[in-house]
């Protein structure tokens, strides 16, 4: 007989390199066959300087250096989680880890997430579920996005779920009641790169962008990114963003404030167009670090009419929704239930993704 309650830790290491998100979550299957959930404890652990520097260069590392980073990151993740569990005095069923994406090229059937799960398992002495993308890739899918099953089962009261992370992505149910989801455009990868050039981790509330002026020529170049014209299913990786988007940042030619204003306009335009093309009204939940960028949210709202309600999740949900959902993907793996949707990824069938280490 299936368990009805699960206490799991979800781990998320995003492309914006904000740190390792750790969320201890409780999931319960209710009598009406719907799920209740709660993020009980959470924390973001900053990367050690050595690991962060290597992560920023990961796509350019040799095979040996990349493997070394994989091991070191997995060991550090294990130590971070073990410390978190001890400090909070938690009883945990298992850990579900997304890992840190280095390569994502579904057209070549390649995806690589590092943070070696064997070392995570060995250090914590807890069951670990990882590698949620490869099976879908092997079935001809994009291996992304993975969050939509969580949107469908945990956040069904919203018409849209939009995550403003390193990459902005969207999830919604279409007229045929099929879950559709895909990456929209670069988001915090672009904004944080510009903020870093001013010695800032990020642009607090979008104040830097708000002080700048839009550069029309740069906006046109960013809006002309070929990925934006592709039809879903589709997914976006840093190896596409770096040569097509980030390469156009030029401090010798433009002021950082103006490039930031242009980046916000680009992101807001792409997100608003995406919402309008999906449905002509609805309630949209915004999460991820970009949801705290009030200037970006205001620019998105300005491009939509009153039929669209933009909702910001509470602080825990905004910061830890992806970690929460990876914990939930682990629950579905344990229950032997679909956690990767072919309607989203374009694979030839749904999948029960995730490799297990240890007894669950």
Neighbour count for residue 221 (Cβ, 10 Å): 15
pLDDT in tens, 7-24: 999 999 987 788 999 999
The number of folded domains in the chain is 2
Q: What is the structure's pLDDT at 244?
A: 96
pLDDT over 90 for what percent of the chain? 96
130 and 158 share a domain?
Answer: no
The ranges of the chain with pLDDT < 70 are none
Q: What is the structure's pLDDT at 15?
A: 77
130 and 260 share a domain?
Answer: no
Peptide bond into 233 cis (omega under 30): yes
What is the dihedral angle through the alpha carbons of 73, 77, 80, 86, rounded to the nearest 10 degrees? -150
Quote the tokens at residue 256.
Answer: 């950082």
120 and 187 share a domain?
Answer: no
308 and 270 share a domain?
Answer: yes
Which domain, by its residues, includes 234?
148-317
Segment holding 266, helix H or strand E: helix 256-278
Q: Could you tell me the CATH number of the domain that includes residue 266?
A: 3.30.420.40
178 and 210 share a domain?
Answer: yes
The pTM of the full predicted model, rounded to 2 decimals, is 0.91
The C-alpha atoms of residue 24 and residue 35 are separated, in whole angstroms, by 16
Q: What is the structure's pLDDT at 1?
A: 76
b/e 123-142 (16+ beta carbons within 10 angstroms → b): bbebbbbbbbbbbbbebebb
Q: What is the structure's pLDDT at 14?
A: 83
Q: What is the structure's pLDDT at 251?
A: 96
Q: Indicate whether 282 belongs to any domain.
A: yes
137 and 214 share a domain?
Answer: no
152 and 133 share a domain?
Answer: no
């Amino acid at each position: 007989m299936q368990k009805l309650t699960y206490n799991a830790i979800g781990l998320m290491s995003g492309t914006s390199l904000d740190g390792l998100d750790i969320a201890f979550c409780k999931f319960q299957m209710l009598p009406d066959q719907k799920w209740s959930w709660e993020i009980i404890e959470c924390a973001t652990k900053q990367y050690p300087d050595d690991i962060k520097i290597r992560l920023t260069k990961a796509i350019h590392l040799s095979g040996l250096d990349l493997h070394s980073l994989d091991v070191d990151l997995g060991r550090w993740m294990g130590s971070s989680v073990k410390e978190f569990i001890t400090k909070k005095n938690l009883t945990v069923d298992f850990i579900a880890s997304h890992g840190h994406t280095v390569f994502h090229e579904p057209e070549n059937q390649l995806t690589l997430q590092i943070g070696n799960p064997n070392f995570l398992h060995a250090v914590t002495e807890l069951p670990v579920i990882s590698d949620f993308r490869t099976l879908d890739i092997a079935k001809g899918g994009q291996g992304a996005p993975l969050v939509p099953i969580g949107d469908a089962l945990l956040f069904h009261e919203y018409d849209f779920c939009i995550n403003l992370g390193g990459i902005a992505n969207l999830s919604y149910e279409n007229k045929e009641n099929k879950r559709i989801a895909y990456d929209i455009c670069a988001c915090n990868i672009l904004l944080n790169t510009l903020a870093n050039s001013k010695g800032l981790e990020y642009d607090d509330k979008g104040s830097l962008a708000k002080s700048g002026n839009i550069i029309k020529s740069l906006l046109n170049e960013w809006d002309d990114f070929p990925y934006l014209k592709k039809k879903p299913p589709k997914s976006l990786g840093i190896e596409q963003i770096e040569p097509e988007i980030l390469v156009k940042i030029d401090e010798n030619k433009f002021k950082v404030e103006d490039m930031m204003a242009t980046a916000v306009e680009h992101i807001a335009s792409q997100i608003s167009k995406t919402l309008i093309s999906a449905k002509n009204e609805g309630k949209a939940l915004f999460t991820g670090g970009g949801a705290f960028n009030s200037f970006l949210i205001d620019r998105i709202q300005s491009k939509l009419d009153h039929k669209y309600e933009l909702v910001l999740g509470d602080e825990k949900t905004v910061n830890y929704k992806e970690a929460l959902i990876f914990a939930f993907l682990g629950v579905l793996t344990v229950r032997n239930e679909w956690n990767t949707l072919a309607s989203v990824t374009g694979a030839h069938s749904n999948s029960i993704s995730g490799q297990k280490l240890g007894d669950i």
